Amino acid sequence: MLTCYSALLYLLALFRAKHSVSPTDAMNMIRLTPTERLEWLRDDQRFVEAKAIVGRILDHYERFLETTNMDEKGLVAHFMDKELSHEYMDAAYKFGDLVFEALNLIGGGNRFHRLLVV
């Protein structure tokens, strides 16, 4: 999820700033990791209103990595635990909600935003 949507957020931000996205912009984007794309967005002063939400996305992703940092057997056992599984699903929905909110905030309903969503 982060790979795809960090790319979309990055491109939406570039479109908002420049009113276009060039092939060079896309090439520069693919050279960045998903977290580097989000860190760029969070730290760029042109998108100060997105700083908090992008920071929260990065925080959720860090917690996801910490939660899943175990061998397959341990991970399966955690997901088989109904209470833990429910917590993980809640966290996943919250993460998705944050990404959706960020897409709408950065995209702002412009034409490129609509093209990416539809």
Please tell me which residue, 68 or 32, carries the higher pLDDT value. Answer: 32
Q: What is the predicted pLDDT for the residue at 32?
A: 98
The answer to whether 103 and 9 are in contact (CB under 8 A) is yes
Q: What is the predicted pLDDT for the residue at 20?
A: 94
- What is the per-residue pLDDT across 1-54, written as a single tens digit (0 to 9) for each? 899 999 999 999 999 999 999 999 999 999 999 999 999 999 999 999 999 999
Q: What is the predicted pLDDT for the residue at 76?
A: 86
- What is the per-residue pLDDT across 78-98, written as a single tens digit (0 to 9) for each? 888 888 888 889 999 999 999
User: 112 Cβ partners below 8 Å, 6+ apart?
Assistant: 11, 12, 15, 21
Confidence of residue 74 (pLDDT cuts 50, 70, 90): confident
What is the residue extent of each domain of the chain?
2-117
* Cα 100 from Cα 118, distance rounded (Å): 14
Closest of 86, 82, 16 to residue 49, by C-alpha: 16
DSSP state for residue 46 in the 8-state scheme: G
